[in-house]
Amino acid sequence: MSILADLLSTVFEHRYKTTDKADLDKRPIATLVDDLLSDHGEVSGAALACQILDRYAAMETTQKQELFNHLANKMGIDPAKVRETLSAYEDKPSKASYRSFMSAVEPTRQEFMRRLNQVPGATGQLVAMRHDLLQLAKKQPELSALDVDMRHLFSTWFNRGFLVLRPINWESPAHILEKIIAYEAVHTIESWDDLRRRLQPTDRRCFAFFHPSMPNEPLVFVEVALTQGIPNSIQTVLSDDREMISSEDADTAVFYSISNCQAGLAGISLGNSLIKQVVADLTQELPALKTFVTLSPIPTLMQWLDETGRRSDVGDNETLRKVAANYLLCAKNNSGRPYDPVARFHLGNGALIHAVHTGADLSANGVAQSGGAMVNYLYNLTKISHNHEQFVTKKKIAASKEVRALSASADI
């Protein structure tokens, strides 16, 4: 059945790409976009979608910008139609009036994206398209509504129910391992030997989410160290000559690197589900694991100290430790959430700030970003839901007594 399915998929994809191709090549891209939304049959519609995606892949930046402008300006909602259909629904609620209202409030570009996504390989191409859009929207705020629509669709298409968790190990296909090296965003993988040290030992794990439409592209992955006790430095975790332990002897799972792989999925929450799924899987595999904790960077600590003119206040490691604790608990962005993006992520997941360490990341990047400081976020399985609720509804940060005492003693 699998061979037959692959054969049929190949035949249909070839048919999509060859249907009236000479005619499609002559049409302006905006015309193809409009035509895709008309009442074409399945094959001709798919041929249009293929043509649009192929043309987009060959575009220069200015051409992409023109296409995005067309989608943003010509394929949004009609406010008058929205008001009219809403009024009709309020006057006489019915299935028909509700359907009319829902049709009016959905921009036509959303249906355009859905029709593009009907052909094989389109999902990954649309993710790449959103990456381009995000770059252009920095200078063109008027494109932000288009991004809202793409993000809305992606939040459905990349819902947890559609994602597949796969373990990554030294026996995984080479093309997947190459992407793990390329996408590692926290602690650079220097070589294949470095990758082997992170994947092959029995006290190391790596897991990634994949989407069925993008089977060769990891979406997000997490690297895990199985340890006895909670580590206080990444040097210890990644040391070449560390003493390996049996996975059955470990009592702690340390999430020391979480990397998002697809820039076009920015803002789509994947890491949250990944951590929770990995915790569930490891708990089942290794019942002796009692502690689930991160060893996380504090990537914006030095930036914040510079912005507030406080860098000169940090003269030694103990002062840095106190300042880092105070920063994690007290520094806020404009929305009243933690200034630090990693803190926002883990605290939003229901974790607790467990401990702050100095001299924990002595790499050039670690020193530049945080003076070498790192933090453990503890995932207490009995308190995750409570911590999450308190953080979301009351902006309350869960932290250990030690971290709170450190913060209170910071003289800043």
- Which tokens hold the place of 91? 């006057």
| Separation CA 91–CA 85 (nearest Å) | 10
Q: Domains in the chain, start-ordered, CATH in brackets?
A: 2-157 (1.20.140.90), 163-409 (3.40.630.150)
| Separation CA 311–CA 44 (nearest Å) | 62
From first to last of its 412 residues, the chain has per-residue pLDDT tens of 344 444 444 544 454 444 456 566 677 888 899 899 886 655 678 889 999 999 999 999 999 999 999 999 999 999 999 999 999 999 999 999 999 999 999 999 999 999 999 999 999 999 999 999 999 999 999 999 999 999 999 999 999 999 999 999 999 999 999 999 999 999 999 999 999 999 999 999 999 999 999 999 999 999 999 999 999 999 999 999 999 999 999 999 999 999 999 999 999 989 989 999 999 999 999 999 999 999 999 999 999 999 999 888 888 899 999 999 999 999 999 999 999 999 999 999 999 999 999 999 999 999 999 999 999 999 999 999 999 999 999 999 999 999 999 999 987 6
Backbone angles phi, psi at 34, to 5 degrees: -65, -40
Alpha-carbon dihedral sign for residues 399, 402, 403, 409: positive
| Separation CA 157–CA 265 (nearest Å) | 11
Record the pTM.
Answer: 0.88
Cβ count near 289 (within 10 Å): 18
Closest to 149 (Cα-Cα) out of 182, 111, 184: 111
| DSSP-assigned beta bridge partners for residue 257 | 223
